[in-house]
Structure 1
Amino acid sequence: MSDVNQALQRIARGTGIVFAGTVISMLFGFLSRAIIARYFSTGEYGVFNLALTILSIALVVATLGFQNALPREVAFYREKELSKLGRLIPTALIIVALNSLMITALLILGSDVVAQFFNETRLKYALKIMALALPFLALRGVIISITQGFGRVREKVYFQNIIYPVLYLILIVVGAILSFPFTYVFFAYVAAQALTLLALVLDVWKIRLFELKFSLDSKLGKKLVIFSVPLLLSGILSFVMNWTDTLMLGYYKSSETVGLYNAASPLARLIPIFLTSAGFLYSPIASQLYAQGKVEEMKRIYQVLTKWVFLLTLPIFAVMLLFPEATIKFFFGAKYVSAASALQILALGFMFHTFLGLNGMSLIVIGDSSFILFSNFISAAFNVLLNTLLIPAYGINGAAVATAVSYFIANVLMSLRLYQKTSIHPFSQSYLKPLIITFVSLAIIRSLPLRVPSIWEALPILAVFLGVYFFLVLLSRSVDKEDVELLLAVEKKLGVNLGIIKKVLGKFV
């Protein structure tokens, strides 16, 4: 079996597991958000999202970019300098632990200033409570990124995707049943994060994947920090790009407007779910291939993955683009339907991100983290500028446009750089044909005078669209031999007979 097929099958297995975990995580996360949104006012829901956004930015600073750097670094050390791995891991954990404690103290002390900036007094106590979760969040993320470098998905799925969201949902439901005050939401968040980290540490200690010891290697730590600094700054800029809309809506408008927007934003962020899932094992596997000088194999993996991720993402994108009102109403209730246009705009931005594939992660693999910093700086600058110009006049729709445009700019820049450095691009012939079919099909359906008040009435229309779409994809002969081999591997793994599907595909390969 070729390196490409072996890598694709490993990534496919990992993608399936990570995707299942991500779906579970998002399901429970949406349930938690829906309960908070329905049980409390839109203003309180907005405060919760503002506090969560600020904590997310603090998390990027606290982890110093290690969450993006460690999967690659661990994979490289395993390939070339295994003896140093035992010192690298505890060094990374100690650095992050100390840094996160310092950031926590700054958040607590500066909560009053932040609350005054957003003119929202309720944000002060929210930040003081939620800041206590930062060390637990940071250490959990770094431990999971270390296990990712070992090519493992178990820890991410169990502890990040299942245990934490389930714990938090249980605590939120208990609070709603017992009519606890709004502050309980934040205490529940801290408790869920602390218990999840404790469970993860006990599990890692039990299986002895790596030693949890106190060992600080200043030379390795310095090297790791130097490599991670561009990724840290890129992470900060990514959060500027991702969350400036929420923060500036809070500044220019109100917490109620933030609450409306955060009905559309979390839904649109579902779109890269398959891309993110595929990227979890792509990073260590592509790092090993690149270390061996197998760039052509890496290119082919990139192209096949991008096509499959696009095809798998299409149903999610289609339902948000074609039936935004029904989608928002189903998840958040009728009072958030006014965010439907924002959902469509955001969906286009996140789908463009998916359409070009794992460009940023590939740049990390080849060690070009400085360009990621450059592209994120350019896109973040455009995001701030567009939000400043558009939010006062257009509110949540202006914020959505700013985010979509900034994603477009970042992805175009990173894809051009990746092609310049490695000749890697996603546009194989078998990918271009489904793209053309997609654009034409969606344009035709958008032109029809469809009125769909509920998600249940949208599903039959979506099913017909997808059936016709995938028939046209087959008819255009967009199926490659790697696609069939991947299907055979899935068939073997699941222990099912996909004879009919194989027979159909055989006629179009």
Structure 2
Amino acid sequence: MSDKKSKLAAGSIITLLGSIILRLGGFIYRFILSRLLSTTGYGLVGLTLPFQNIFIIGASGGVPPAIAKYVSQYKAIDDKEMVHRVSITGMKMMIFMAIIASIIMFLISEPIAVGMWNKPEALLPLRLVSVIVPFSVLVGAFRGVFQGFYQMKNIFYSKFIEQIFTIIIASSLVIVGWYAAGAVLGTALGFLVSLLGTYYLFKRDVNDAYLDEKFPKISFREELKLMKEIFKFSIPVVISGIAEIFLYDTGTFFIGMFLPTFFAGFYTNASAIARIPLMVANSVSISILPATSEADSLEDKELLKMYMHQSYRYTTVTSLPVSAFIMVYAVPLMVLLFGSEYAKGAEALWILVGGMFFFSVYLIACSMCQGLGKPTFPMYSLIIGALVNVVLSFILIPIYDITGAAIGTTAATFVLMVMTVGELVHLSKIHPPYKDLFKMIIATGFMIAVMYLIPHTIIGMFIGLIVGSLVYMIVILLLKALKPEDVVFIENIINKTGPLKKYLTKIANLIKIYLTN
């Protein structure tokens, strides 16, 4: 059982560390561009992001996860020919869909920029999104193969290459005078370099025995049958992906319609900071799905309860104080990361971060529903949440500007969280650990109270972070909001601290002894 207790923590920490590194790169990109461009120029870049996201998701058609599933499945039984067929057919599908998506994006750019937004200056950046789509979709196909071969490091390397070269090229193009269009083109070229690097990793590390040309060519009818099988798996994935983009980016779209361009820059950066708490939830959700599936298949109710309660506690004990810190210090955070001009996005930020905490809980409940073999309800709740966001954003943005967008998104995430957690309780007959979660809320309340007493300046923010975190951890321990088995989560973090490991391990052992008594 001890191995099972640590299983969820170990998998989550590995994913979390990669997420932190990539998230940091994203902030470096925003930090540089928000200083190189005017608020209006950066707003133009922000207006393109929903289209980048939705066309990349839509054009991929949910195929990369399907490639990963079937490559992994056929590799497990050493069916080399089917691994080859799935990989090649999946890539053909994605190339075709990428071309179609690029053409559509190019054609709708003018009606949106000029007709709907009345912003002709957004036309070229939107058209350049059509250049991003083919490269990004092909990179996604290779990443799907990597996932099927369990080469997670190569997925990280591929994303890292994309991020580094996007930052370098986009910054360079803006500096030489390409303005917002240079930032978007830099993203396209970053994906191109990533595609080249990913192809190199693919040729270097994927076993040629699976993907060489010795297998006989399949008939068109057989290929259509395989495409149908891939689509059958991928359709729920792409629907969920597009609904999630609508949940995140509906506000940005309506900001483009109702408000001056620079508001999009404020909201885009506020949204980026607000999503920081999602890192832990994303990491835990990846690990909890197979863990829940395992416990369910073993019909071990106690093991299932332990995994589910650990997931709620890991997510809440980390995401809640991070959300509280961002709420209290929204203004100095925006100023520090993006400059004083972006302080106007702080009000939207402190509202949005609450919504992202709700979405964190949804992600955990969603993965547990999937692990129990019920993936459709979270998809339906996500669609409902996206529709709620569309309606509220359309109503509230003309009245309350970007604050209205934040309110719409937060209300939508609350709705889908309540729906999905309720369905999970119905399916599993296991309630969240309400008592432990309430203790964490109390500890967060003490943390907020202390931070409010400290000046809301950049220096005060760092002091508040240290003092508030200490208060939070002390109250968490005094209330025993964590269980002894939860210390495994802390130990897995400590194992990555290098020379500090020896000292921090002693502290972790003392915490475990205290919680046991």
Say which of 29, 32, 37 aligns to 1:35: 32
Q: C-alpha offsets along residues 449-490 of structure 1, whole Å, 9 cap, x if unaligned? A: 553122x22111221121121112112223323224455566
**In structure 1, what is the equivalent of residue 110 of structure 2?**
112
Q: Indicate whether 1:52 and 2:49 are aligned.
A: yes
1:359 deviates by 1.8
Q: Deviations over 1:106-165 (max 9, x none)?
A: 2123322222222121222212222112122123234334434555431232221x2111
Distance 1:251 1:239 in 2: 18
Correspondence for 1:387: 393
Q: Does 1:376 align with 2:382?
A: yes
Q: Look up the SS of the partner of 2:313 in the other structure.
A: helix
Q: Distance in 2 between matches of 1:291 and 1:203?
A: 36
Runs of 5+ in structure 2 lacking a partner? none
Structure-2 separation of matches of 1:457 and 1:403: 29
Amino acid at match of 2:8: L
2:257 partner letter: Y
Q: Does 1:474 align with 2:474?
A: no
Counterpart of 1:98? 96
**Shift in CA distance, 243/143, structure 1 to aligned 2, threshold 3 Å:** same
Deviation string 1:389-445 (CA, Å, 9 cap, x unpaired) is 11111001111000001111112212222222233554265444223332x325534
Deviating more after overlay: 355-364 vs 316-325: 355-364
The aligned residue for residue 285 of structure 2 is 279
Contact 1:32 1:169 in 2 (8 A): yes
Quick one: distance in 2 between partners of 1:491 and 1:28? Answer: 23
- The alignment status of 1:483 with 2:486, answered yes or no, reads yes
Indicate conservation of the 8 Å contact 1:148/1:281, yes or no.
no
| Equivalent residues of 2:33, 2:171 under 8 A apart | no
Pair 1:461-2:464 in alignment: yes
Alpha-carbon separation, structure 2, partners of 1:69 and 1:360: 19
User: What corresponds to 1:500 in structure 2?
Assistant: 507
* 2-structure distance, mates of 1:444, 1:135: 49
Stretch moving more, 389-398 or 456-465: 456-465
Residue 194 of structure 2 corresponds to residue 187 of structure 1: no
Match of 1:340 in 2: 346
Q: Which whole-Å CA distance do the structure 2 matches of 1:122 and 1:80 have between them?
A: 55
2:282 and 2:363 in contact (8 A); partners too? no
Q: Secondary structure at the match of 1:508?
A: helix
1:262 CA drift (Å): 1.6
Alignment deviations for residues 77-132 of structure 1 (CA, whole Å, 9 cap, x no partner): 66789675554333333222221121112212332222222212122221222211
Query: Does residue 441 in structure 1 map to residue 446 in structure 2?
Result: yes
The answer to whether the 8 A contact 2:51-2:129 is kept is no
1:288-303 correspondence runs (5 A): 297-303=303-309
What letter corresponds to residue 48 of structure 1 in structure 2? V
Distance 1:176-1:106 versus aligned 2 partners, 3 A rule: closer
1:318 aligns with 2:318: no
Please state whether the residue corresponding to 1:337 is helix, strand or coil.
helix
Moved more, 246-255 or 481-490: 481-490
Cα distance in 2 for residues equivalent to 1:372 and 1:281 = 17
- The aligned counterpart of 1:141 is 140
**Separation (CA, whole Å) in 2 of partners of 1:492 and 1:252:** 50
Distance in 2 between residues matched to 1:224 and 1:290, nearest whole Å: 26
Distance in 2 separating the partners of 1:73 and 1:372: 23
Seen in structure 2, the aligned counterparts of structure 1 residues 47 and 429 have a Cα distance that, compared at 3 Å, is same
- Higher RCO structure, 1 or 2 (CA under 8 Å, sep 6+): 1
Give deviations 1:24-43, integer Å, cap 9, x for gaps: 32222222223222222222
Give, in whole Å, the separation in 1 of the partners of 2:212 and 2:134.
18
What is the distance in 2 between the residues matched to 1:106 and 1:449?
Answer: 53
Deviations 1:183-215 (A, max 9, x none): 322222111101102211211221125844687
| Distance across 2 between alignment mates of 1:247 and 1:149 | 35
Q: CA deviation at 1:74?
A: 5.6
Q: Which amino acid aligns with 1:7?
A: K
In structure 2, the residue matched to 1:8 is 8
Q: CA RMSD in A?
A: 2.9
What TM-score comes out, normalization by structure 1 length? 0.89
What is the letter of the counterpart of residue 122 of structure 1?
A: E
Counterpart residue number, 2:257: 251
Asked if 1:451 is matched to 2:455, the reply is: yes
1:345, 1:489 → 2: CA distance?
32
Distance 1:349 1:486, change over 3 A: closer
C-alpha displacement of 1:330: 0.5
Given that 1:264 and 1:328 are in contact with CA atoms closer than 8 Å, whether structure 2 keeps it comes out as: yes
Residue of structure 1 in register with 2:167 after alignment: 169
**What is the deviation of 1:241?**
1.4
CA distance in 2, matches of 1:34, 1:237: 28
Cα distance 1:419–1:69, how it changes in 2: closer, same or farther (>3 A)?
farther
Q: Would the aligned equivalents of 1:348 and 1:404 in 2 still touch at CA under 8 Å? A: yes
Which stretch of the first structure deviates more once superposed, 466-475 or 166-175? 166-175
From the superposition, tell whether residues 230 and 202 of structure 1 become closer, same or farther in structure 2 (CA, over 3 Å): same
Counterpart amino acid of residue 5 in structure 1: K
Question: Contact conserved, 1:4 with 1:300, CA < 8 A, in 2?
Answer: no
Cα gap change, 1:501/1:289 in structure 2, threshold over 3 Å: closer, same or farther?
Answer: closer
Task: Say how many residue pairs are matched.
Answer: 502
Residues in 2 aligned to 1:227 and 1:427: alpha-carbon distance in whole angstroms: 33
TM-score, scaled to structure 2: 0.87
Preserved contact between residue 102 and residue 130 of structure 2 (Cα < 8 Å): yes
Cα distance in 2 for partners of 1:445, 1:492 equals: 30
Contact kept? 1:231, 1:369, Cα under 8 Å: no
The Cα shift of 1:337 comes to: 0.8
Is 1:23 the counterpart of 2:20? The answer is yes
Instruction: State how far apart, in whole Å, the 1-side matches of 2:305 and 2:146 are.
Output: 25
| Structure 1 runs not aligned, ≥5 long | none
Cα distance in 1, alignment partners of residues 225 and 26 from structure 2:
40
User: Percent identity over the alignment?
Assistant: 24
1:214-225 correspondence runs (5 A): 217-225=223-231
Match of 1:266 among 262, 269, 272: 272
1:51 CA drift (Å): 1.5
Q: Give the Cα separation in 1 of the matches to 2:155 and 2:197.
A: 12
In the other structure, the counterpart of 2:156 is: 157
Q: What is the CA-CA distance between 1:387 and the residue it aligns to?
A: 0.9
